[in-house]
Chains A and B, each alone.
Chain A
């Protein structure tokens, strides 16, 4: 636990084992993105917006509505924050970074510029991922482990669009 990094093949294999155990013991495949839709519904309710007006929040017996929280996946997403913090603290790799180095190299070290881009990128990513029906955890790890056709299509387009966008945005200059 004190080692700074683990071989990604081994850490990945352990993550695969964790997925299998989670399905076996708790009956849950890994996924994360729906939590953002559900949390948005809870926030809207909190500030006084009636989410029952939105079809998405009432469809499938309120699967995505405000009453669906708390649930397994919300705690899973919170657990990732906790686990990462524990791991980073024990190995002394916790480091406050306002702007990622690769971003700074291309766009400068302004946290405001990075913040605006991260917000917009996050919004586009979540709209896309909810339309697609899952993220790299839900469609990727869980979907491909089950050989789901939806997972293969989604992952192909995640990476194709990601590759093209990265090439355009970061100009693909190598160090």
Chain B
């Protein structure tokens, strides 16, 4: 059943990504060149709705959060490496398959490269574990936790910031 949910969720997500044109190299790299904010509009809109929905369901006791651990070393170095690779590839792990689905066949090389990268990461893991992942390791923390204030205050501020950004994008015609 879990597999069927995965497939159904993926199909719906793939349709939304394709319809919003965020799968395209020109949109992804266009965003990084600050020429076209389509992918930021899609992503921030999803996050705003997601944040309200997730914390609502959590407060109703219907779901559990699944927080990824914070390691400043891992997220700074890993994030930087990802950013470099992403700007060259022009697709990310979730969108490369979708790009292939709409005929962008250069994504195949990106997918093969990512599989290769998966193998390399496994080889290099002992090094990263010994030297990087332990730097600034704070475990599974959220912004409301470290600030010690009610999560709804942060959700409202975050959503307000996202809406402000939308206003900025539209004003600048991005």
A contact set with B: CB distance below 8 Å: 1, 3, 5-20, 22-33, 35-41, 43-44, 51, 54-57, 59, 64, 70-88, 91, 93-103, 111, 114-167, 169-170, 172, 174
Give the Cβ gap from B162 to chain A, nearest Cβ, in Å: 10
Residues of chain B within 8 A of A155, CB atoms compared: 79
A72→B87 CA distance, assembly (Å): 28
With A84-B18, A118-B113, A160-B83 known to touch, is A144 a contact of B74 (CB < 8 Å)? no
A56→B7 CA distance, assembly (Å): 26
A70→B23 CA distance, assembly (Å): 25
A136→B142 CA distance, assembly (Å): 17
A152→B22 CA distance, assembly (Å): 21
B contact set with A: CB distance below 8 Å: 2-26, 29-30, 32-35, 38-39, 41-51, 53-54, 57, 62-72, 74-107, 109-126, 128-129, 132-133, 138, 140-144, 146, 151, 154-155, 158, 166
With A147-B51, A149-B138 known to touch, is A81 a contact of B143 (CB < 8 Å)? no
Residues of chain B within 8 A of A38, CB atoms compared: 118
Least CB separation from B122: chain A residue = A56
A154→B86 CA distance, assembly (Å): 13
B8 with A79: CB separation less than 8 A: yes
Give the Cβ gap from B77 to chain A, nearest Cβ, in Å: 6
Residues of chain A within 8 A of B39, CB atoms compared: 8
- The contact of B83 among A57, A130, A157, by CB within 8 Å, is A157
Q: Binding site of B, secondary structure by majority: helix, strand, loop or mixed?
A: helix
Residues of chain B within 8 A of A147, CB atoms compared: 51, 142-144, 151, 154-155, 158
A123 with B116: CB separation less than 8 A: yes
B50 with A20: CB separation less than 8 A: yes
- The contact of A118 among B38, B54, B106, by CB within 8 Å, is B106
Give the Cβ gap from A139 to chain B, nearest Cβ, in Å: 7
With A19-B46, A127-B120, A166-B33 known to touch, is A132 a contact of B79 (CB < 8 Å)? yes
Can you list 23 A-B contacts (CB < 8 A)? A3-B19, A15-B13, A15-B17, A23-B63, A26-B6, A35-B93, A39-B115, A73-B6, A78-B7, A78-B10, A79-B6, A83-B14, A118-B89, A118-B109, A119-B112, A121-B113, A122-B85, A127-B85, A144-B51, A146-B54, A148-B70, A162-B87, A172-B33
- The contact of A9 among B5, B14, B41, by CB within 8 Å, is B41
A165 with B63: CB separation less than 8 A: no
With A83-B12, A100-B26, A148-B68 known to touch, is A163 a contact of B34 (CB < 8 Å)? yes
A122 with B117: CB separation less than 8 A: yes
Residues of chain A within 8 A of B6, CB atoms compared: 26, 28, 71-76, 79
A75 with B10: CB separation less than 8 A: yes
